[in-house]
Amino acid sequence: MNSWETQLRKGVAELAVLAVIAQEETYGYRIVEKLQNLDGLALSESTVYPVLTRLTRGGLLAVRTDASPAGPTRRYYRLTPLGRRSLGELTATWQKVFGSLKTLLEGVPS
Amino acid sequence: MTTATVAELAESQQTLIDARLDTIDRMLLGHVSRADRITIVSEVEAQIQELLGAKVGDEASREDVIDALRRLDPPEAYLPDSAERNSSQHRVGRFSSQQPMRQRNVGRVGWIGGVLGLFSFGWILLWGLIVVLAQGATATVFLVGLMTMIPPLGFAIGAAALVCSIRGRSQGVLPILGIGFGAISLQFWLLLAGYLLIA
C-alpha cells in the first residue's frame, strides 16, 4: 500500500469509525474486524484504537465496560449527541469532497 | 451455549503477550496521554484474548500466542508519523481533541536543556583551565576578571540546563544528560561559592 493511499485511509478513519458505531453500540475488536474486512478501508487496530480514544476524549463517544465471553473486559462504544452531529458534518464534507473529485475525474480523458 | 473462558496461558506465553504490550506502550509514550496509552494497550490486550479465545479448547499453546501476535500490527505502527502530526492541526473531525503542540515544544526544550547541561559541564572544565593558567600568567588582571565572571555564568547555565531538561525529560536521552550535568554544575558552583565565602 503506497503512502498516499495509507494517508487517505487514515484521513477517513474517524468518519469510518463513527459510521460503524452509529449502526450499533459495539466494542473495539468488533470495530477493527468490520473495518479490516472492507477492501477500500482496511483499517487495522493501530489506527482504530487511537482514533477511538481520541473520539472518546473529544466527547463524541461514550464508553461502558462489560465482561466478555472471552474473559477480559470489553469497552463498548456508542455515539453521543455530539458524535452524531459530528458524523453528520463529516459525512457532508466527505460527500462534497467525493462529489468534486468525481466531477474532476469524469473530465479526465481515459 | 457454553461460555468460553479466558484462554489458559502458561507463564511463558503471557510473557510473550506482555512483551508485545510493553513495546506498544513504549511506542505510544510521549505521543498520547497516559490515559489514552492505557486504553489503547488494554484494547490490544483484549483483542489478543479474543483471538486466543477463538481457538478450540481452553488452552492456548505458544504457537497460538505467536500466531495471534503475528496477526496484529507491528508495534512501530503505533508511532504517529509526521503526516498524522501535521494533520492533527487540520483535522477533518474538528470536534475531536487535537494532539497538543506542546508535545513538540517539550521535545525542543528538553533538547536545549541537554545541550546546556553539556555546555555547563564544559564551563566547569574551562574555569579549571583558567585557574591553572592564572597561577603563572602575566595578564593576571584579565585572568582574575575571567575567574570571577565564569562562576556566576556557569551557575546560570547550569540552572537553565536543569530547568529545561526537567521540563523535557520524557523526550529522550539528551534531557536526562542535561539533568545530570546541570545538577553537577549547580552543585560545583554552589560549593565553590561556599568555599570562597568561608575562605
Is B92 an 8 Å CB contact of chain A?
yes
Question: Are A55 and B49 in contact (CB < 8 Å)?
Answer: no
The set of cell numbers assigned to A26 is: 459495539
Question: Are B40 and A50 in contact (CB < 8 Å)?
Answer: yes
B5-63: pLDDT as tens digits: 445 578 888 999 999 999 999 999 999 999 999 999 999 999 999 888 866 556 778 89
DSSP code string of B82-145: HHHHHHTTS-SSTTSPPPPTHHHHHHHHHHHHHHHHHHHHHHHHHHHHHHHHHHS-S-HHHHHH
Q: How many beta carbons lie within 10 A of that of residue B192, not counting itself?
A: 15
Question: Are B92 and A15 in contact (CB < 8 Å)?
Answer: yes
- How far apart CA B106 and CA B112 sit, in angstroms, is 10
Is B3 an 8 Å CB contact of chain A?
yes
Is A68 an 8 Å CB contact of chain B?
yes
Q: Could you tell me the pLDDT band of residue A84, with boundaries at 50, 70 and 90?
A: very high
Residue B167: what pLDDT? Answer: 81
CB distance A60 to A25 below 8 Å: no
Residue B92: what pLDDT? Answer: 41
> What is the pTM (predicted TM-score) of this model?
0.60
- How far apart CA B28 and CA B39 sit, in angstroms, is 11
ipTM of the shown complex: 0.90
A21-39: pLDDT as tens digits: 999 999 999 999 999 999 8
**CB neighbours of B193 closer than 8 A, spacing ≥ 6?**
B151, B155
Question: Are B40 and A54 in contact (CB < 8 Å)?
Answer: no
Of B160, B196, B195, B167, the C-alpha closest to B181 is: B160
Of B163, B161, B166, the C-alpha closest to B124 is: B161
Question: Are A46 and B32 in contact (CB < 8 Å)?
Answer: no
Contacts of B50 in chain A (CB under 8 A): 29, 68, 70
Is A28 an 8 Å CB contact of chain B?
yes
Q: Give how far the C-alpha of residue B15 lies from the chain's centroid of Cα atoms, to the nearest Å.
A: 25
The set of cell numbers assigned to B158 is: 547550569
- How far apart CA B164 and CA B167 sit, in angstroms, is 5
The set of cell numbers assigned to B109 is: 526544550
What torsion do the CA atoms of A58, A28, B35, B83 make, to the nearest 10 degrees? -70
Please tell me which residue of chain B has the smallest CA distance to A46. B78
Tell me the shortest Cα–Cα distance from A27 to chain B, in angstroms.
9
Is B89 an 8 Å CB contact of chain A?
no
Is B172 an 8 Å CB contact of chain A?
no
CB distance A31 to A18 below 8 Å: no
Which residue is listed with cell 479490516? Answer: A36
CA atoms within 13 A on the CB side of A5: 7
Average pLDDT, chain B: 78
B191 phi/psi in degrees, rounded to 5: -65, -40
Q: Which of A2, A27, A49 to mutate to test the interface with B (most CBs of B within 10 A)?
A: A49
